[in-house]
Amino acid sequence: MTVRPHTFHWLADVPAWAAVRHRTACLARWLRLPGVGRTPDCLSIRYWPRPSPIVRSALPRRTPVLLVHGYAGTEHMWQPLRVALAAAGFDQVIALRYNTFRADIRSVADWLVDQADRTMGACGTRGVHLVGHSMGGLVVRAAVQSGGLGDRARTVVTLATPHRGTPFARFVPGPGARQMSPGSAFLAELAADARLGATRWVDIEAAVDRVVPAGADRLPAGSIRVPAGHRSITRHPDAVARIVDELVGVENRDLVHHATRDFTLAA
């Protein structure tokens, strides 16, 4: 698997036609259409704005957030969430991009672990928050349950993820699709090792999901339903607000814990 880090700059000031052309070219490279160059199987796209020293000192330092899209998705689906995370003070956000038509979920999970390690080293933190949509949620689970992130994933959010498989996967190409098929060996391994540990697990399911059957997208810890579709859930205001609230809640609880511990030691 070819892996390459990549820094992506916001397209806010780019004309609409140029943005469409850029995304079309990216899709063509991803599908390896004739006449285009080869693209790596995995990319890490960093959205790291650089606030002024005054702003940086005024905000508490947040834990980095890694976003993993689902089958046939791209990093562009996370834009509303990225904006909301930035407004909440999460200034270290990394979106993963991988070729879902060729990718094996375990391989992408291994790459996610490596990227999380690099991110923690660059940011000087001991943990990360992980958010995965659809197949991306299974990537996150594999990385946490068996890939070594179990003690470093502070929060895991899965969106419209087929934790028990989806029949739709039988009709689309790729090794990842085979792993998402109901009854696959991969899903059986995840279910047999469903250790939640100290990580905060949040499962958000779409109320109008035509891809993942009702009840197939639930973790043992329970789930939250929002009135969205399978793909629109990443942009739905209720889902975005819930994700941000969960991550901020974990951050605030840690601040209280550390403050209490420091006060006890000082006393």
pLDDT tens for each residue of 250-259: 999 877 544 4
Would 30 be classed as within a structural domain?
no
Tell me if 47 sits within 8 A of 90, measured CB to CB.
Answer: no
Q: Which of 22-26, 120-124, 130-134, 167-171 shows the lowest per-residue confidence on average (mean pLDDT)? A: 22-26
Work out the average pLDDT over 116-136.
Answer: 94
Instruction: Centre a 10 Å sphere on the Cβ of residue 194 and count the other Cβ atoms it contains.
Output: 14
Q: How are beta strands 93-98 and 42-47 bridged, if at all?
A: antiparallel
Percent of the chain clearing pLDDT 70 (strictly above): 72
Asked if residue 91 lies in contact with residue 51, where contact means CB atoms within 8 angstroms, the answer is yes
Structural domains counted in the chain: 1
- Closest CA relative to residue 162, chosen from 112, 236, 223: 223
Whether residue 111 is contained in a domain is answered as yes
- Is the per-residue pLDDT at 147 higher than 90? no
Q: Where are the alpha helices (DSSP H) in the chain?
A: 16-30, 53-58, 79-87, 105-123, 135-145, 175-180, 185-192, 237-266
Distance CA 45, CA 3 (A): 12
Q: Which CATH number covers residue 90?
A: 3.40.50.1820
> 65-68 and 3-7: which strand pairing?
unpaired
* pLDDT confidence tier of residue 246, bands split at 50, 70 and 90: very high
Task: Please tell me which residue, 2 or 115, carries the higher pLDDT value.
Answer: 115
Asked if residue 34 is part of any domain, the answer here is no
Tell me if 31 is assigned to some domain: no
Is a pLDDT exceeding 60 seen at residue 1? no
The answer to whether residue 18 is domain-embedded is no
pTM, rounded to two decimals:
0.79
How far is Cα of residue 135 from the mean position of the Cα atoms in its chain? 10
Q: How far, in Å, CA of 63 to CA of 244, rounded?
A: 12
Residue 238 forms part of a structural domain: yes
Going from the C-alpha of 163 to that of each of 105, 139, 176, 223, 260, the distances in angstroms are 13, 11, 13, 11, 38
Can you tell me the distance from the alpha carbon of 147 to that of 199, in angstroms, rounded to the nearest whole number?
Answer: 14
Domain holding 239, by residue range, is 3-12+41-266
Compute the distance between CA of residue 264 and CA of residue 267 in angstroms, rounded to an integer.
5
The position carrying tokens 């990093």 is: 75
Range of weakest confidence among 10-24, 158-172, 211-225: 10-24
In a domain, 81, yes or no: yes
In a domain, 70, yes or no: yes
